Amino acid sequence: MVGNSAYPSGGGVSGTGVGAGRPPSDRRPQPSGTPFSNFRSIVDPSGALNFGGKAVLHGSGVDFSNGSSFAINMGEFRLDEELGRGNYGAVKKVLHKPTNVVMAMKEIRVELDGGKLNAIIMELDILHRAVAPEILEFYGAFFIESCVYYCMEYMDAGSLEQLQHDGIVEPVLARITQSMVRGLKFLKDELQVMHRDVKPTNVLVNRKGEVKLCDFGVSGQLERSLAKTNIGCQSYMAPERIHGESQNNLGTYTVSSDVWSLGLSIVELAMGKYPYPPETYSNVFAQLTAIVHGPSPALPDGFSPSAVSFVEACLMKEPPKRATYAELLDHPFLVEDRTREVDMVGWVVSAMAPREARRETPRVSQSTLTIPAMPKNRN
């Protein structure tokens, strides 16, 4: 499963594109004297970020010590529309001109702190090894000034949050869950990593009906370090994690915390809304208290007993009682899914219809537009 090429698996890639595996000597050094120059242990004289010989991140990509190289730089892109905005920046649709591949580019402002930069490189390393059908493909990263830019596979139907509307029907929900569990199991078994940020906005879908996990890597790590003081009003954190963070004990995260977030995401997708709606709590503290001490959420009426029991197995309050990924894959909810035909492509089309309709809403025709008078020059 481990790949060292950053070539997108979809068609249309040719020539000297992204991650063409060029040797590091091919890199054009960045001018010295960047804002990173106080960080000599990390920033080498060329201005690139050097992570203990494990990888080098610079203006034209990232080189890993195993020889794989993800060559990519800003000049090669045509910037397109904004796809969405998270807490820490925007994700843009971009065209990578040399290869004609459409990608998604996420900008993250980094603070000059060795720990954070180390987290970035650890996660870049994970990202470039994470090649699986249920994991969003990573094409490369580069850095300019104090921003790291991550380039990844563009998912043309967006995130599950944009597709869930009033709730997702059971067969589609089961298929989505199947992909999520497989993706999480892959990360754990093959790469020994936990996701740590499972939620509907981090599960992306394309028009082929494929479902992929993202943001378990660099951005997740960074966002978490920035987010510590701002848990936000939609927390997918497991009760033990919320409790642990409130005691400043960050060692409470185990793989079963991801299983909680998975269960909570499934309930949200089934209901079409976050299961602890902020409007029912007087403040964030009351909401977090409900997560830690209240009963676990459950699927709404109308779902099969196997779906209900699957979610219960994810949302046990005590972490050791939660199911493992192997148990979840053997659960009737997912076993039944593997025997069923599910029209994921048709579902994506219908779930995207409202968005498409908004896009196509006719604008006022040019002929009826009144052209406002030019403002007088006030100077």
Ligand X SMILES: Nc1ncnc2c1ncn2[C@@H]1O[C@H](COP(=O)(O)OP(=O)(O)OP(=O)(O)O)[C@@H](O)[C@H]1O
Contacts with ligand X, residue ranges (CB under 6 A): 83-88, 91, 104, 106, 136, 152-155, 158-159, 162, 201-202, 204, 214-215, 223
| Spatial separation of the C-alpha atoms in residues 348 and 120, rounded to whole Å | 33
Minimum distance of Mg ion from residue 67's CB (angstroms): 30
* C-beta nearest to ligand X: residue: 86
Residue 374: both structure tokens together:
């030019």
317 is known to lie in a ligand binding site: no
Q: Give the DSSP per-residue string, 219-258.
A: HHHHHHHHHTT---SS----HHHHHHHHTT-GGG--HHHH
Minimum distance of ligand X from residue 270's CB (angstroms): 19
Mention every residue, 6+ apart, whose C-beta is less than 8 A from residue 369: none
From the list Mg ion, ligand X, none, which binds 83 (C-beta under 5 to 8 Å, kind-based)? ligand X
Minimum distance of ligand X from residue 90's CB (angstroms): 7
* CA-based nearest residue to 344, from 89, 123, 173, 224: 173
Q: Is 331 helix (H, G, I), strand (E, B) or coil?
A: coil
Torsion over CA: 307, 309, 310, 315 (sign)? positive
Nearer to ligand X, 83 or 191 (CB): 83
Nearer to ligand X, 21 or 89 (CB): 89
Minimum distance of ligand X from residue 224's CB (angstroms): 9
Whether 337 sits among the annotated catalytic residues: the reply is no
Instruction: Please state, as a whole number, how many other Cβ atoms lie within 10 Å of the Cβ of residue 292.
Output: 15
Nearer to ligand X, 269 or 334 (CB): 269
Residue keyed to tokens 């830690």: 292
Q: What's the gap between Cα 4 and its chain centre?
A: 21
For residue 307, give the amino acid letter.
Answer: A
Q: Give the DSSP per-residue string, 265-320.
A: HHHHHHHTS-SS-GGGSSSHHHHHHHHHHSPPP-PPTTS-HHHHHHHHHH--SSGG
Nearer to ligand X, 42 or 262 (CB): 262
Minimum distance of ligand X from residue 250's CB (angstroms): 18
Nearer to ligand X, 34 or 206 (CB): 206
Residue 136: both structure tokens together:
């969003």
| Spatial separation of the C-alpha atoms in residues 252 and 194, rounded to whole Å | 13
| Spatial separation of the C-alpha atoms in residues 109 and 260, rounded to whole Å | 29
Catalytic residue among 125, 197, 215, 337: 197
Torsion angle of the four alpha carbons 143, 250, 255, 296, in this order, in degrees rounded to the nearest 10? -120
| Spatial separation of the C-alpha atoms in residues 298 and 300, rounded to whole Å | 6
Minimum distance of Mg ion from residue 161's CB (angstroms): 10
* CA-based nearest residue to 74, from 145, 149, 17, 138: 149
From the list Mg ion, ligand X, none, which binds 204 (C-beta under 5 to 8 Å, kind-based)? ligand X
| Spatial separation of the C-alpha atoms in residues 50 and 202, rounded to whole Å | 29
Nearer to ligand X, 215 or 337 (CB): 215
From the list Mg ion, ligand X, none, which binds 235 (C-beta under 5 to 8 Å, kind-based)? none
From the list ligand X, Mg ion, none, which binds 155 (C-beta under 5 to 8 Å, kind-based)? ligand X
Catalytic residues: 197
- Residues belonging to the binding site for ATP are 106
